[in-house]
Structure 1
Amino acid sequence: MTVRGALMRVLLQEDVNFLLTNRLPRRFATNLVGRFSRIEQPLVSKASIRVWRIFSDLDLSDAATTRFRSMHDCFTRRLKPGARTIDARPEILASPCDAIVGAIGRVLGDEVHQIKGMPYSLAELLGDAADAVPFTGGTFITLRLTAAMYHHFHAPADLTVERVRYLSGDCWNVNPIALRRVERLFCRNERAVVNCRMHDGGAPFLLVAVAAILVAGIRLTFLDTDRLLREGGDRTVPLSADMAKGEEMGWFEHGSTIVMFLPEGFAPADGISEGSPIRQGEALARRL
Structure 2
Amino acid sequence: MTFRSVIASIVQQEDINFLLTNRIPRRLATQFFGWFSQIEQPFVRDLSIGLWRLCSDLDLSDARQQRFRSLHDCFIRQLRDGARPVDADPNLLVSPCDAIVGAAGLVEDGQVLQIKGFPYRVRDLFGDENHAAIFSNGCYVTLRLTATMYHHFHAPHDCLIQSTTYVSGDTWNVNPIALKRVERLFCKNERAVIRTRLSASGHSVTLVPVAAILVASLRLSFLDPSLDLRRAGPRTIRCDAAVQKGEAMGWFQHGSTIIVFAPKGFRLCETVRPGAMIRVGQPLMRLPEAATAASR
TM-score (norm 2): 0.95
Which stretch of the first structure deviates more once superposed, 232-241 or 210-219?
232-241
1:228 and 1:54 mapped to 2: Cα distance? 34
Amino acid in the other structure paired with 1:244:
Q
Q: Is the 8 A contact 1:219 1:229 kept in 2?
A: no
Tell me the equivalent position of 1:89: 89
Percent of aligned pairs sharing the same letter: 56
Tell me the equivalent position of 1:269: 269
Q: 1:30: Cα distance to partner?
A: 0.2
Measured against aligned partners, the alpha-carbon deviations of 1:172-207 in whole angstroms (never above 9, x if no partner) come to: 000000000000000000000000000121000100
Q: Is the 8 A contact 2:215 2:256 kept in 1?
A: no
Q: 1:283 to 1:173 in 2, by over 3 A?
A: same
**Which residues in structure 2 correspond to 1:100-249 (within 5 Å)?**
100-231=100-231, 235-249=235-249
Amino acid in the other structure paired with 1:176:
P
- Aligned-residue Cα RMSD (Å) equals 1.1
TM-score (norm 1): 0.98
1:231 and 1:33 mapped to 2: Cα distance? 20
Q: 1:36: Cα distance to partner?
A: 0.2
Q: Is the 8 A contact 1:152 1:251 kept in 2?
A: yes
Q: Is the 8 A contact 2:3 2:55 kept in 1?
A: no
Q: 1:2 to 1:142 in 2, by over 3 A?
A: same
- Secondary structure of the residue that 2:230 maps to in structure 1? helix
- Secondary structure of the residue that 1:230 maps to in structure 2? coil
**Which residues in structure 2 correspond to 1:44-55 (within 5 Å)?**
44-55=44-55
Amino acid in the other structure paired with 1:151:
H
Q: 1:233 to 1:40 in 2, by over 3 A?
A: farther
Q: 1:100 to 1:234 in 2, by over 3 A?
A: farther
State how many pairs are aligned: 288
Q: 1:265: Cα distance to partner?
A: 0.9
Tell me the equivalent position of 1:284: 284
Return 5+ residue gaps in structure 1 as ranges: none
Q: 1:134: Cα distance to partner?
A: 0.8
- Secondary structure of the residue that 1:229 maps to in structure 2? coil
2:142 and 2:34 mapped to 1: Cα distance? 25
1:227 and 1:53 mapped to 2: Cα distance? 33
**Which residues in structure 2 correspond to 1:21-32 (within 5 Å)?**
21-32=21-32
1:233 and 1:183 mapped to 2: Cα distance? 29
Amino acid in the other structure paired with 2:37:
S
1:227 and 1:17 mapped to 2: Cα distance? 34
2:168 and 2:233 mapped to 1: Cα distance? 7
